[in-house]
Amino acid sequence: MNKETRKQQILKIKNNEKPIGRIDIPWKDKLEPMDVYQIPLDFLIFNKYNGRILSRTKSLENQHKLINPETEEGKKLIEGLLYDSKPQKNEETLKSLTKLGQEKVGIITEDGIIIDGNRRAMLLNRIPQIDYFKAIILPVEYDGNPLEIEKFETKYQLGEERKLDYNPIEIYLKIQQLYTRISNKKYKRDDIDKEAVKRIYEWVGNYKNINTENDIVFTLDVMNTMDDYLDRFEYNGFYTALDKREEQFRRLTDWVINFTKVEGSGKAFDGYSSLDVDDLRFIAYDLIRIRYKNEKFR
C-alpha cells in the first residue's frame, strides 16, 4: 500500500467511523483534544528513525543497508530491531497485550507513520486475534512539518515513557539530531547556538543526566567525542560500536574540556600543551575500544 492509498484509507476512517475515545495531547504548544480510532495494522508504517532504535537504523544505513519500512523486508527488519531493544520488557508487554488488549493509545500521522507506539504495534502484529491499532491521527503528514513532529515525539516519548529506558546512545543521537535540525549547522563548542540549546532543553526536560541547559551542551560534547572516536577507528556512523561505553565517553569528554588550555584549566601540569590533551584522548580511545572496565578506566 503506497502513501497516497494509506492516506485515503485513514482519512476514510476518520470521516466515516465513530471514534472510540478522545484524549488531550500536547500539540503545537497546547493541549489539544483529539479523537481515537481503530486503524488496521496493515495501514501503518514503522518510523525507522524512532528514538528507540535510532542508533541501529543509522548504523545499518551507514553500512549501505537500505531500510525501506514500506516493504515487507524493511518492516521485518525494523520489527526485529524494536523487539531486540528490550526483549524482556517486550515479552512482558506481549503477554499483557494478549490478555488485555491495547490499553495505551498510539499516535500516527495522516499518512500512517507511527509517531508513538512503534513498539506496541510491533507486538500487536504478533497477536493473530488483533488486527488493529488504537491511535490518534495527527493533522499532518510525516514530511509535512518535520520539526513539529520531532518536537512532539521528543516531548511526548521522553516525558511519557521515561520509565521505559532507552539505550543511552539513542538520547545522544536524538539531541545531536535536534540541534542540527533547529540550528541548521553541526554542533561546535566554540560556536554554540544558545537558542537551539534552550529549545532542546524545553523539549527534553529533566531526563536522566539532563537537568539544565548546560547538560544539553555537555551531551552534545559527548556525542562529538563519540563521533571522533568512530572516525579515528574508521567506524564512521556505526553507532552500535558505542554500546555500553557511555560512562567512559562522558568521563573522557570531561577530562578533555578541563585540560584544554582555552578553557583555562587549573588542573594541567607545567609546560603541558594541546599535544598532551590529544595523547590523553587517544590513549583513552584505545582503552575504550578494548572495553577496559570503568573502575580501571577512571
Give CA 23 to chain center in angstroms: 24
- What per-residue confidence (pLDDT) applies to 163? 44
Q: What's the pTM?
A: 0.83
Strand order in the sheet with 30-40: 21-27, 30-40, 132-137, 106-108, 114-116
Q: Is residue 252 within 8 Å of 297, Cβ to Cβ?
A: no
Cα–Cα–Cα angle for 77, 59, 247, nearest 5°?
120
Contacts of 190 (CB under 8 A, 6+ apart): 262
- What per-residue confidence (pLDDT) applies to 9? 96
Which parts of the chain have pLDDT scores under 70?
158-165, 261-271, 294-298
Distance in angstroms between the alpha carbons of the first and the last residue of the chain: 53
**Strands 132-137, 114-116: parallel, antiparallel or unpaired by DSSP?**
unpaired
Contacts of 244 (CB under 8 A, 6+ apart): 291
What's the rounded Cα separation, in Å, for the pair 188 and 56? 25
| pLDDT tens digits for range 147-200 | 888 888 887 776 554 545 677 888 899 999 999 999 999 999 999 999 999 999
| Nearest by Cα to 82 from 41, 113, 125, 135 | 125
- What per-residue confidence (pLDDT) applies to 26? 86
Distance set, CA 95 to CA 29, 91, 104, 122, 280 (Å): 36, 6, 15, 13, 49
Q: Is residue 23 within 8 Å of 136, Cβ to Cβ?
A: yes
Q: Is residue 140 within 8 Å of 147, Cβ to Cβ?
A: no
Look at the chain and count its residues: 298
User: Mean pLDDT, the chain, as a whole number?
Assistant: 89
In this structure, the number of other CB atoms found within 10 A of the CB of residue 168 comes to 18
What's the rounded Cα separation, in Å, for the pair 50 and 116? 8
**Strands 132-137, 106-108: parallel, antiparallel or unpaired by DSSP?**
parallel
**Strands 132-137, 30-40: parallel, antiparallel or unpaired by DSSP?**
antiparallel
Strand pairing partners for 203?
none
